[in-house]
């Protein structure tokens, strides 16, 4: 089928043959489809959708549009996690070492932040010397030696996704479930692990704002992964308020290290234990979910996860002493507390607004290519439901200048509402597991 | 609004502000909108549509994306006709001179054929010496002297349409009512007449296959034209069988001349009288429709329309003697009759198949840029409902070679069905008039 025929068929709601979708994606990867036709096709998919078979074929084609990593040298079932992106989400930094500490290799390909959501690689690069861009053979060697490694996507994995994603970004075709699934799962399949756990964030600070959308995405991610012969499950997790209390790269590393040593915020630990338990289960290491979760808890409390993290950091060129001395991480020149204007209960903490405030401070990117300041960010001191007195500190801003400090203080005052205290909300909203 | 914002708004079904649509179309005309964004926007419009205000603004913006002709030197109300394209549709060749013969100037900008539908300029160019591409001042001078002229679109009229149309053609966004209206009416508004009659063809040989689609298009054309301060009406006319009996450029000129002299096929004359009557009415020359139609009939019967046609042909460089001697037109080297395989009534004549057969003979273009053979084509000898005997000729093929003859004969045998005779169908299916 020509691209024009594919557009016409999809426009009228037809189900496209898997072979046609596959051939088309590979043509895109080879630069043979004019971008105006590709964008018209993507928009037709936005409106008409793709069924499970079409989505699986699209995903598979994105995966094998380039190199497919062979992880068999690692010698056992491998597992990875993907999050759809949230504010203050430093989970991967704790999760990968914790799961590896339980004996399951975690070869994690991760990304950088854009907009209000941060990126795992950006956080890790707050550690002096840390290298996120490594050649594949070095990446695999570290996983083999340490149990885990976290690196950036290499250009020869899923090249069709890079082309399609940059086109979607400028043509209003980002928010389409099959296209999102193709992008996420396509890259994951190319990276080669045997099992995947998806953390689908839902709420005002997430890409999926409604439970219905998050549920659709979660099911579609799991279905497309399994249709391509891999194990998968998904957790829908709350993202109204930020995860944990730190937002900003070095601040989040500090919080991750606390969690790796058995401390840190309760919600971060809960998410690590839940996702880690599921990863152990999917790897075949544990069959019972409660046992798997307990095992993750133990490697956090014993300090074994922190050890693996230090080894991984060292193997990737970073200074492993940060685990024992967070003062080695960069710090911001100016800090200031934001205080409650009135007494009451914390009724709302707007993750999205705080994410944007962190970007404005320099902790994130408004545009691709923006240079980050790893030291800046926001430390929340309260969580929804907490009781505060007038004048009590709500947050600490870490900024590069007095002007940035002033702007962030204003943004945080607006983002944290004090009134009737919020009732505690569950972090794990729903599970989609085999 | 940026193009991306316009895409997102239209995607969610919003009504776009007229100013935003206008600015966007003008940006397209200046080459400032990347084609991948333009095609995504056009596809969003395909799915979400445009309301009357949006369509009027889009149309107006296409019109004034370039030069707007000033027809005031012509000194009286001018009127033009546009057809959505059919098989054997030589109406303009008869209509323009007939209306001009009634004293109403007809400055007609016309097009070339593509696919199974022919183009008025291609037909006129079958006349030795005829020039369809004239500078604007010469075009207006001829209308002033003769009463009518038929020329091609000039590149400085509605440049946004050329860009958008060529993009729509390759991105599956042709069949959208507001986009069709913008293209047709935008060009017409730029050409400057005061009133327009639209001939919306409906049926298997037309662009609009169903009555519902044709009705939607007819109403949208009239609404967008009136919203821009011009008079308009539309006729929905049948296009299952070809109009008249000739298909192919020189053959159609012969039939048009017969009609201009008061003869020719009944359906062609009926359409000329109906459209011409409506044009007289919209021009303000006649207030009563029946009187207006009768007047068109008289200029055909008196030979006055044929005189104006001869003057127009001469003014545009063609040989006016063709009106008295059609043997001056090019003729095909080989001709052959196609005979009925069995006796019966003509139940169906497939306009679309005959249009395609004429293209295969060389009378039309399969692709833009194909060179035509003006002499070739098909002469039907029967109309739906006619009774034929076995062996009686159904059509005559005019071809450039024996092989082309053979192929066309086969196509015509399939396209003309003999069985139970078709009941007579009305040519004028519906009227949309003020």
Task: Report strand pairing: A428-432 vs A377-380.
Answer: unpaired
Alpha helices in A154-264 (DSSP H): 159-169, 177-191, 211-227, 249-260
What distances in angstroms separate CA B246 from CA A249, B268, B424, one per listed residue? Answer: 77, 11, 19
Q: Which domains does chain B have, with CATH numbers?
A: 3-49 (1.20.970.10), 72-156+169-325 (3.40.1030.10), 330-419 (3.90.1170.30)
- Over residues A62-119, the pLDDT tens digits come to 999 999 999 998 988 999 999 999 999 999 999 999 999 999 999 999 988 777 787 8
Is B172 close to A7, i.e. CB distance below 8 A? yes
Kind plus residue range of the DSSP H or E element containing B4: helix B3-11
Q: Give how far the C-alpha of residue B226 lies from the chain's centroid of Cα atoms, to the nearest Å.
A: 20
Measured CA to CA, the distance from residue A84 to residue A206 in angstroms comes to: 8
Catalytic position from the list A10, A81, A82, A269: A82
Give residue A36's pLDDT. 96
Chain A contact set for B173 (CB, 8 A): 40
- For the segment A148-164, what is each residue's pLDDT rounded down to a tens digit? 999 998 888 999 999 99
Instruction: Kindly indicate the confidence band of residue A419, based on its pLDDT and cuts at 50, 70 and 90.
Output: confident
Residue A146 and residue A315: Cα distance in Å, rounded?
8
Q: Which of A60, A123, A162, A168 is catalytic?
A: A168
For helices A3-11 and A35-48, angle between their N-to-C axes, nearest 10 degrees: 20
Q: What pLDDT score does A153 carry?
A: 85
The B-side interface with A (CB below 8 A) comprises 4, 7-8, 11, 34-40, 42-44, 46-47, 167, 170-173
What DSSP line would sit under A320-344, residue for residue? GGGGT-GGGS---SEEEEEE-SS-E
- DSSP assignment string, A142-179: HHHHHSEEEEEPPTTSSHHHHHHHHHHHTTT-SS-HHH
Active site residue B168: yes
Q: Which residues of chain A are at the B interface, by a Cβ-Cβ cutoff of 8 Å? A: 4, 7-8, 11, 34-40, 42-44, 46-47, 167, 170-173
pLDDT (0 to 100) of residue B425: 77
A158 with A187: CB under 8 angstroms? yes
Among partner residues B8, B36, B46, which is closest to A39 by beta-carbon distance? B36
Mean model confidence pLDDT for chain A: 95
pLDDT number for residue B279: 98
User: What is the model's pLDDT at position B370?
Assistant: 87
How confident is the model at residue A368, as a pLDDT?
79
- Neighboring chain B residues of A44 at a CB cutoff of 8 Å: 43, 172
CA distance to partner chain A, nearest, from residue B419 (Å)? 35
Q: Catalytic one among A22, A123, A187, A201? A: A187
Crossing angle of the two packed helices A249-260 and A91-101, in degrees rounded to 10? 30
Chain A residues lying within 8 Å of B367, measured CB to CB: none
Residue B162 annotated among the catalytic residues of the structure? no
- Which of B38, B39, B48, B167 to mutate to probe the A interface, most A CBs <10 Å? B39
SS3 B79: strand
pLDDT single digits (tens) A193-205: 999 999 999 998 8
Write out chain A residues lying below 8 Å of B7, CB-based.
43, 171-172
Interval A263-284 mean pLDDT? 97
The CA distance from A146 to B411, in Å, is: 74
In this predicted structure, the answer to whether residue A302 has a pLDDT above a threshold of 90 is: yes
The per-residue pLDDT for A122 is 94
Distance from CA of B304 to the nearest CA of A (A): 48
Verify whether the Cβ–Cβ distance A36 to B170 is below 8 Å.
yes
Instruction: Quote the pLDDT of residue B434.
Output: 72
d(CA A383, CA A238): 14
Question: Do residue B171 and residue A35 have CB atoms under 8 angstroms apart?
Answer: no
- Nearest Cα of chain B lies from the Cα of A7 at a distance, in angstroms, of 6
Q: Is there a contact between A39 and B39 if contact means CB atoms under 8 Å apart?
A: yes
pLDDT at position A45? 98
Do B4 and A172 make contact, defined as CB atoms within 8 angstroms? yes
- Smallest CA-to-CA distance from A274 within A288, A290, A258, A253 is with A290
Express each pLDDT in B193-215 by its tens digit: 999 999 999 998 898 999 999 99
What's the longest Cα–Cα distance across chain A?
67
Nearest to A43 among B35, B43, B167 (CB): B43
Q: Return the pLDDT at B148.
A: 97
User: Do B272 and B98 meet the contact criterion of CB atoms below 8 Å apart?
Assistant: yes
Q: Tell me the three state secondary structure of residue B54.
A: helix
Q: Which residues of B touch A36 (CB under 8 A)?
A: 35-36, 38-39, 167, 170-171
Residues A172, B36: C-beta atoms closer than 8 Å = no
Percentage of residues of chain A with pLDDT beyond 90: 88
Please determine, for residue A367, whether its predicted confidence score (pLDDT) is greater than 90.
Answer: no
Q: What are the C-alpha distances in Å from B214 to residues B168, B173, B210, B211?
A: 20, 17, 6, 5
Q: Which residues in chain B show pLDDT less than 70?
A: none
Residues 6+ apart with CB under 8 A from A178: A45, A49, A50, A54, A55, A58, A220
Burial A170-182 (b: 16+ CB within 10 A, else e): bbbbbebbbbbbb
Catalytic residue among A65, A83, A183, A283: A183
The whole model's pTM is what? 0.88
Q: How far apart are CA A235 and CA B428, in angstroms?
A: 63
- Please say if B81 is a catalytic residue: no
* Annotated catalytic residue within B162, B187, B215, B398: B187
B356 labelled catalytic: no
- Cβ A275 vs Cβ A236: under 8 Å: no
Provide the token pair at B147: 């009463």
**Residue A289: which pLDDT band, with cuts at 50, 70 and 90?**
very high
Kindly determine whether residue B171 and residue A38, on different chains, have CB atoms separated by under 8 Å. Answer: no
* C-alpha closest to that of A348 among A414, A298, A255: A414
Burial of B386 from C-beta contacts in 10 A (0-12 / 13-18 / 19+): middle
Mean pLDDT computed over A224-253: 96
pLDDT band at A256 (very low <50, low <70, confident <90, very high): very high
Q: Kindly write down the DSSP assignment for every residue of B241-308, as one continuous string.
A: SPSSSEESHHHHHHHHHHHHTT-S-HHHHHHHHHHHHHHHHHHTS-S-HHHHHHHHHHHHHTSHHHHH
């Amino acid at each position: 089928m020509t691209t024009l025929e594919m557009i016409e068929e999809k426009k009228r709601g037809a189900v496209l043959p898997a072979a046609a979708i596959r051939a088309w994606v590979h043509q895109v990867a080879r630069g043979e489809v004019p971008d105006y036709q590709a964008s018209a096709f993507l928009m037709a998919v936005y409106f008409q959708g793709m069924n499970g078979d079409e989505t699986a074929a699209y995903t598979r084609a994105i995966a094998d549009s380039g190199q497919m990593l062979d992880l068999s040298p690692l010698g056992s079932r491998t597992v990875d996690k993907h999050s759809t992106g949230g504010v203050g989400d430093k989970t991967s930094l704790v999760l990968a070492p914790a799961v590896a500490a339980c004996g399951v290799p975690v070869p994690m390909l991760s990304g950088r932040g854009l907009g209000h959501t941060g990126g795992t690689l950006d956080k890790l690069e707050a550690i002096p010397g840390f290298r996120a861009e490594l050649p594949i053979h070095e990446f695999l060697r570290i996983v083999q030696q340490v149990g885990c490694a976290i690196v950036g996507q290499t250009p020869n994995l899923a090249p069709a996704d890079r082309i399609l994603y940059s086109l979607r970004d400028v043509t209003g075709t980002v928010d389409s479930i099959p296209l999102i699934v193709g992008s996420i799962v396509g890259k994951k399949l190319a990276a080669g692990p045997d099992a995947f756990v998806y953390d689908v964030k839902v709420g005002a600070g997430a890409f999926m704002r409604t439970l219905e959308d998050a549920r659709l995405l979660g099911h579609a991610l799991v279905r497309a992964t399994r249709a391509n012969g891999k194990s998968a499950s998904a957790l829908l997790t709350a993202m109204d308020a930020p995860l944990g209390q730190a937002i900003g790269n070095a601040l989040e590393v500090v919080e991750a290290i606390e969690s790796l040593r058995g401390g840190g915020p309760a919600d971060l630990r809960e998410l690590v234990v839940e996702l880690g338990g599921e990863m152990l289960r999917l790897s075949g290491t544990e069959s019972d979910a409660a046992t798997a979760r307990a095992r993750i808890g133990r490697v956090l409390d014993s300090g074994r996860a922190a050890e693996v993290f230090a080894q991984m950091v060292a193997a990737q060129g970073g200074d492993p002493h940060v685990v024992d001395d967070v003062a080695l991480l960069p710090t911001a020149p100016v800090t200031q507390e934001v205080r409650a204007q009135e007494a009451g209960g914390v009724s709302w903490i707007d993750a999205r607004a705080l994410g944007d405030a962190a970007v404005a401070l320099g902790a994130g990117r408004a545009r691709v290519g923006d240079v980050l300041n790893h030291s800046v960010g926001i430390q929340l001191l309260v969580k929804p439901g907490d009781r505060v007195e007038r004048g009590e500190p709500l947050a600490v801003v870490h900024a590069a200048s007095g002007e940035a400090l002033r702007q962030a203080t204003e943004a945080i005052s607006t983002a944290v509402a004090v009134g009737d205290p919020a009732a505690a909300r569950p972090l794990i909203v729903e599970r989609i597991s085999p």
